Amino acid sequence: MSLLTVAPAIFVMIWSTGWIVAKYAAPFADPLTFLAVRFAVAAAVLGVLAAAMRAEWPKTRAAMGHALVSGVLLHTIYLGGVWWAIAKGLPAGVSALIAAVQPLLTAALAARLAGEKLRPVHLLGILIGFLGVLGVIAPKLSGVSVAGMSGLGLAVVVNVVAMAGVTFGTFYQKKFVASGDLRTVTTLQYAGAFLTTLPLALLLEPMRFEFRLETWGALAWSVIVLSIGAVGLMLMMIRRGAVSKVAALIYLIPPTAALQAFLMFGETLTGVQIGFMAVAALGVYLASKP
């Protein structure tokens, strides 16, 4: 069994822990500050590994520039936007709902930006997956009112921009960063993310980062498992597959994160939600058919 075969399942299990880490680290570090440290450490670790393994670096300035830009789209805009919006009070359910729009947007743009032709079964799977996600996160939306959201307009806009950033980031990655050693490319991506996230943290936050065991634990998981493991799998799948099929995996993230939150934090998980998890999985299966 090849890595590419099991990569989607591993990616979903790992990537879904990002919301758990964000919640775990929130009391001890400002979101953009934490991400700036995470990107810097990830770039340093990958850079050392790339040098030790004599990985080949991009040979042209254009190739290096594309890697830096893709890092800004995939990490600074996406992760920075989501973490900042949630820190400003945006309910996790609303953030998850906005994220669930990404596969729909990706499918709508796939033919124009990536030349992908989606069959009716793929479109049906994407729609079914979206309905499944709605069912899973509905309880988190039940207490959210329009009046309560009135003061969170900027957070909603930032979260929407973050969703658009990762959508266009996957297309950009597919078109402009389709070759090259992933070890050095990813190093440059995190360097670009750090160089753009740090000024935002300096501008918008008091740069709080408490030197505690919880903070270092969250940072270690974020760097080793998420930034290196999960992102590496995502980039590999984008290179070797259709961006619309990779985006469809996003539908499995909220259900998996809900299950993890139930196990770790005791958050409510009903039978109806479990049923909709199966619906989301069915949607991803149909959307990922050859």
* 169-202 pLDDT, tens digit each: 999 998 899 888 989 999 999 999 999 999 999 9
pLDDT at 146: 62
pLDDT at 147: 60
Domain boundaries, given as residue ranges, for the chain: 3-26+60-175+225-287
> Which residues are CB-neighbours of 100 under 8 A, at least 6 positions away?
130, 133, 134, 137, 250, 251, 254
Beta bridge partners, 29, equal 209
Give per-residue burial for 136-147: e unless 16+ CB within 10 Å, then b: bbebbeeeeeee
Q: Residue 234 has which token pair?
A: 């995502």
pLDDT at 258: 78
Compute CA 169 distance to the chain's CA centroid, rounded to the nearest angstrom.
11
Average pLDDT over the chain, rounded to whole? 87
**Is 77 or 85 the better-scoring residue by pLDDT?**
77
**Is 79 or 254 the better-scoring residue by pLDDT?**
79
pLDDT at 111: 73
pLDDT at 35: 97
What does pTM read for this prediction? Answer: 0.86
**Is 111 or 79 the better-scoring residue by pLDDT?**
79
Compute CA 30 distance to the chain's CA centroid, rounded to the nearest angstrom.
19
Instruction: Output the CA–CA distances (angstroms, integers) from residue 249 to 88, 106, 115, 136, 201, in the order listed.
Output: 27, 12, 20, 15, 30
Report the pLDDT averaged over residues 98-105: 84
Q: Is the pLDDT of residue 151 over 70?
A: no
Of the ranges 83-97, 119-133, 163-177, which one carries the lowest mean pLDDT score?
A: 83-97
d(CA 281, CA 12): 11
* 207-246 pLDDT, tens digit each: 999 999 999 999 999 999 999 998 888 888 888 877 877 8
pLDDT at 203: 95
d(CA 283, CA 133): 10
pLDDT at 164: 93
Q: Dump the DSSP string for 34-93.
A: HHHHHHHHHHHHHHHHHHHTTPPPPSSHHHHHHHHHHHIIIIIIHHHHHHHHHHTT--HH
pLDDT at 143: 66
CB 78 within 8 A of CB 86: no
